A and B are shown apart, each in its own frame.
Chain A
Amino acid sequence: MASARSWRARRFRRGVAGLALAAVAVAACAPPDRSAEVAAIIKGLDNPFFQAMGQGIEDGATGPVTVQAAQSTADTTGQADKLSAVAVQGFGCYIINPISGTNLVQSLSLIAKQGKPVINIDSPVNAEAARLAGATLASYVGTDNTHAGQVAGDFLAGRLPAGAKVALIGGTAGDVTSRARLDGFRAAVDGKLTVSQTVDVNEWSRSEALTRAEEIMRANPDLAGFFVANDDMGLGVSRAVQNAGKSDQVRVVSVDGVEDGLRAVKSGQLAATVAQYPYTIGEMGVEACRAAAAGHTLPATVNAPVALVTQDNAADALSAFPKPFEQYDDPYRQLLQQ
């Protein structure tokens, strides 16, 4: 019985090995040249912000482009696996939007050996970790999230009486973007408004943001405003404000400028949103790849446009969406036009 079993296992193993060899042989026949193509690994597509970014990358590309995203914004290793997977395919240029400052570093060291340019968009790679892993980045383009938070803070401080109570709602605890936006807002309203409390919402969940906002309003009947770290949660919070019948009393300001957010500003549900342009960030990322391929030296850091959208200019912002409605600097395009 035992020998029959091991015989069976042996036969089976031999079969497996044979099939695997056959597949290797087939694979070896046709290695496609992807050195003129661009691969992009972004944070996730479960959010309009990253969907717009992906769209910008695809629209901005003049040739074939592969866009892959992590499973969720907590999927740090999954994103690293995806970058490793595309790295072995030998693309000509890589665009990355890492979930954390360090999660892609090890995969980046693989690309560093190929000497291909890597464009870092949106969330920055930790410089120290990149240096230790021997990874080099050709250029960084992204929004200064602290600045975006400041713009929101200045706006709300200008609209509310001095010392008015506001509450802050951030995204996933520990998320760098959320933290930067909240820090910027706090710095801008310091001494002007009173921050009653700050809560973080796991996975940037809209429904959880709604629940938290209801609780905060119950605890602070005199609350005058919310600063919410993205539009999606901002819409949940504005729903909570409506449900509480406090639309006239509580103003909601968020960051992102996604289409739903702009519409909500136009209709007055949101007092304002600080629009960032993920579409443009994606587009600029591909332009950077093209500029690198053309042999240009890329600027180390490029700031993507930011615009305050209020009821006054929401219609303009919507009609230009997903592109900015105001003029902005694009150093990569200038390089390409030289």
Chain B
Amino acid sequence: MAEAVAVGADRESLGGRLRDIGFWADWAAVIGLVALVIVFGLASPSFLTLGNIQAMLVSAAILIVLAVGQTFVIATSGIDLSIASIMTFGAVVLGLLYAAGWPILLACLVGVVAAGLAGVINGTLVAKGRIPDFVVTLGMFSAASGAALILSDGKPTQVVDGFLLALASGSVGPFGYFIVVAAVVVVVAHVALFHTRFGVHVLATGGNAEGARAMGIRTGRVRLAVYLISGVLAGVGAILLVSRVGAAEPAINTTYLLNAIAAVVLGGVSLQGGRGNILGPVVGALLLTALTNGLTLLGISQYYQPLAVGVVVVMAALLMRYQR
């Protein structure tokens, strides 16, 4: 019966759907992004220039990679508060190995592995230690940034390397390598979440862990795996970060943590878990980037930017309550 009603709703006229708040809730991030593009496009002639769009996509790339990692964790009803400090940790490992004369590709690889290990520690404590995600990753947030400070002795390491410089400024056609990397991450993540057994088990673990266990799904392993994914993607983010700022810096940038979670929420992924979606958080990340970029172009003081982000996120969350 319920389904019959729902099918009817799908066939409603456009006007009917526009009046249905559920429609707006499902498309919150996309609608928000389109609205911003229109507003900023009208207000600032530079906003929709090719150069600016390229710059926005490049600056969204790190956030997209982190948001994808965060999506996997949140889909299992967890949360990774340590994602930005693991990225910093990975960056410091990368930087120190590079400074010690390792080949850049090997340094990058070990940086990713180090970040992945931090993720494994998170996952093990959550899955085997039965400690709440929030507590574990809050601890890792501190521990990973502490490790980064200790390893680096608090000093930034210059990583001035041709390969990373090319990664930051080179492009394939109009698309910078950053965008290409982010796109590959997004596609792989989408396939993993929706076209593999693992993805189904992630959603099942988040939706009903007890039920998933009753069906023989090893939810502990699934949790371990999502934190591993989150850690590895933080490591990928670290490579992008080092190549973008040209140095491995031990100071952590908490904006990335908050924006990664905000992007996931904007993308319609429920913090209660069970509902996953990769493209939503990507649009959320683009929205947050466009918001900051547009306000910068308009010359609006950066004081207003965190406020704007907060308002957008809370509005999206309110709208999300009407999701179908």
Q: Which residues of A contact B249 (CB under 8 A)?
A: 76, 100, 174
Q: A85–B245 contact, CB under 8 A? A: no
* Interface mask (B282-324 → A, CB under 8 Å = 1, otherwise 0): 0000000100110011010111011000000000000000000
Docked CA distance A32–B49 (Å): 13
Q: A4–B52 contact, CB under 8 A? A: no
Secondary structure at chain A's binding surface: helix, strand, loop or mixed? helix
Q: Which residues of A contact B59 (CB under 8 A)?
A: 77, 80-81, 84
Do A70 and B302 form a contact, CB below 8 Å, given A4-B10, A27-B49?
A: yes
| A77-111 contacts to B (CB < 8 Å) | 77-78, 80-82, 84-90, 100-103, 105-106, 109-110
Q: Which residues of B contact A100 (CB under 8 A)?
A: 156, 245-247, 249
A174 touches which of B30, B49, B156 (Cβ 8 Å): B156
| B157-203 contacts to A (CB < 8 Å) | 158-160, 162, 165, 168-169
Q: A103–B255 contact, CB under 8 A? A: no
A120 at the interface (CB under 8 A from B): no
Docked CA distance A85–B52 (Å): 6
Q: A76–B149 contact, CB under 8 A? A: no
Docked CA distance A16–B245 (Å): 34
Segment touching A, from B38-46, B124-132, B209-217, B268-276: B38-46
Q: B302–A71 contact, CB under 8 A? A: yes
A-B interface pairs (CB < 8 A), number: 170
Using C-beta atoms within 8 Å of the partner chain, give the interface range for chain A. 35 or more
Segment touching B, from A128-136, A139-147, A219-227, A328-336: A128-136
B155 at the interface (CB under 8 A from A): yes
Q: How far is the CB of A128 from chain B (nearest CB, A)?
A: 5
Q: Which residues of B contact A85 (CB under 8 A)?
A: 46, 52, 55, 293, 296-297
A300 at the interface (CB under 8 A from B): no
- 10 closest residue pairs by CB, A with B: A102-B246, A23-B41, A173-B154, A84-B55, A103-B245, A88-B51, A81-B59, A4-B10, A88-B52, A174-B154
**Apart from A85-B46, A132-B165, 13 more pairs, CB < 8 Å:** A32-B45, A68-B302, A71-B305, A78-B292, A81-B55, A81-B289, A81-B292, A85-B297, A86-B297, A101-B158, A109-B169, A110-B55, A129-B246
